[in-house]
Amino acid sequence: MFTLLVTLAFAAPQVTPTVLENPSALRGWFDALSRAKSGAGVARALHYGDSTIACDGIARTVRSRLTARFGDAGPGFVTAAFDPRWHARSDVVARRSGDWTLKTILFGGASGRYGLGGIVGIARSASATVTAMAGAAVSRQRHAEIWYQSGVGYGSVWAKADGVELVRASAATAATGDQRATFDVPAGFQTLSFGANGVVPFYGVVLEAGVPGATWEDVGVVGVGSKSFTTFAGVGLAAQVALRAPDLLVVELGGNEAGYPSLLANGGAVYRPIFEGALATIRAGAPGAACLVIPPLDQGAVDETTGTAASKPGLPNLVAQQRAAALAAGCGFWDAWTAMGGKGSALTWANARGLGTGDHVHLTGAGLERIGTALADALLAGYDAR
33 and 383 in contact (C-beta within 8 Å)?
A: yes
Which residues on neighbouring strands pair with residue 43, listed in sequence order? Answer: 214
Q: How far apart are CA 386 and CA 378, in angstroms?
A: 12
Looking at the chain, the whole-number percentage of residues with pLDDT higher than 70 is 96
Angle separating helix axes 27-37 and 365-384, nearest 10 degrees: 90
| Helix/strand/coil for 198 | coil
Q: What is the pLDDT of residue 335?
A: 98
3-state secondary structure of 248: strand
Q: Label residue 112 by pLDDT band (50, 70, 90).
A: confident
Strands (E), the chain: 42-49, 76-79, 92-104, 119-134, 137-138, 141-150, 156-161, 164-170, 177-189, 191-197, 199-208, 213-218, 248-252, 290-293, 300-302, 309-311, 332-333
Q: Is the pLDDT of residue 1 over 60?
A: no
The predicted model gives 47-64 an average pLDDT of 95
**Lowest-confidence range among 47-56, 243-252, 307-316?**
307-316
Which structural domains are found in the chain, ordered by start?
1-73+213-386 (3.40.50.1110), 74-210 (2.60.120.1360)
Q: Per-residue pLDDT tens for 149-184?
A: 999 999 999 999 999 999 999 999 999 999 999 999
Do 248 and 42 contact (CB within 8 A), yes or no? no
Q: What is the pLDDT of residue 120?
A: 93
Please count the other Cβ atoms lying within 10 Å of the Cβ belonging to residue 182: 12
Q: What's the whole-number mean pLDDT along residues 244-265? A: 96
List pLDDT tens digits, range 198-232: 999 999 999 999 999 999 999 999 999 999 998 88
For residue range 115-130, what is the model confidence (pLDDT) as tens digits?
999 999 999 999 999 9
> 279 near 287, Cβ under 8 Å?
no
Do 176 and 149 contact (CB within 8 A), yes or no?
yes
Check pLDDT > 70 for residue 243: yes
pLDDT category, 233, cuts 50, 70, 90? confident
Task: Inform me whether the pLDDT recorded for 82 exceeds 90.
Answer: no
- The burial of 197, by beta-carbon neighbours within 10 Å (0-12 exposed, 13-18 middle, 19 or more buried), is given as middle
Using pLDDT thresholds of 50, 70 and 90, give the confidence band for residue 84.
Answer: confident
User: How confident is the model over 15-31, as a mean pLDDT?
Assistant: 97
Can you give the pLDDT at residue 2? Answer: 38
The mean pLDDT value of the chain amounts to 92
Give per-residue pLDDT as tens, 277-297. Answer: 999 999 999 999 999 999 999
Residue-level pLDDT at 147:
98
- For residue 23, give the nearest of 375, 286, 251, 331 by alpha carbon: 331
Task: Return the higher-pLDDT residue of 385 and 309.
Answer: 385
pLDDT at residue 152 in the model:
96
pLDDT reported for residue 353? 78
* Predicted confidence band of residue 9 (pLDDT cuts 50, 70, 90): very low
Q: What pLDDT score does 3 carry?
A: 39
